[in-house]
Amino acid sequence: MPERQVRFVGGPLDGREQGLRDSEAVHGRLLRHVHLHDGPKIETCYRLHYAPDSGWEYHFNGH
C-alpha cells in the first residue's frame, strides 16, 4: 500500500512534501524539525492537520 503524502505549510519547510505512514497519520501530532547545517541549531515545530479538501498538512507551530 503506498504512503500518504503530507505537505508542510509555513516555516523553513514550507512547500515540502513527504510520505506519511499510517502510524503517523494522527491529527494534532507534533513534529520537531532540527536544522544543524551551516550555523547554530534551529528547532521548529509543526502540527499535523487533516482536511478533506487539502489532505494531510503539517502547519508551522513556531520554535
pTM above 0.75, yes or no: yes
The pLDDT value recorded for residue 2 is 56
Q: Which amino acid is at 3?
A: E
The pLDDT value recorded for residue 42 is 87
The pLDDT value recorded for residue 17 is 96
The pLDDT value recorded for residue 37 is 79
HEC profile of the chain? CCCEEEEEECCCCCCCEEEECHHHCCCCCEEEEEECCCCCCEEEEEEEEEECCCEEEEEECCC
The pLDDT value recorded for residue 40 is 86
Low-confidence residues of the chain, pLDDT below 50? 1
The pLDDT value recorded for residue 47 is 97
